[in-house]
Structure 1
């Protein structure tokens, strides 16, 4: 099943959507969902662009953000 970028006017990507919206895509977005999405964007950019002790940050980002298969 190909991922949909928008659900009822909502635009976003699976990598940065809140867990609640991924599990229940028909629900409306709440402030908590937006904060969770913002957190994921911050984590993604931190691992991509800042120095860290992680041996392979590209692998971690791919594993964490790109292996979601869609709603059950």
Structure 2
């Protein structure tokens, strides 16, 4: 599968009513936990960055523009 085919797949999935509900839930989950200097897990910031990167990937793939 090439990039444009994959992009079309993302768009089919996330531009649907169900896909939008899933994406909204992912945003909710990512944004409900804040990270500060007192976090007991030293990897919490890395985990948060990875979650945000995944959301950006989904949004980029759904933007409708071909590469």
TM-score range, shorter chain: 0.3 to 0.5
Q: TM-score, normalised by structure 1?
A: 0.42
Q: TM-score, normalised by structure 2?
A: 0.44
CA radius of gyration, larger in: 2
Give the strand-richer structure, 1 or 2.
Answer: 1
Q: Which structure is higher in RCO with an 8 Å CA cutoff and minimum separation 6?
A: 2
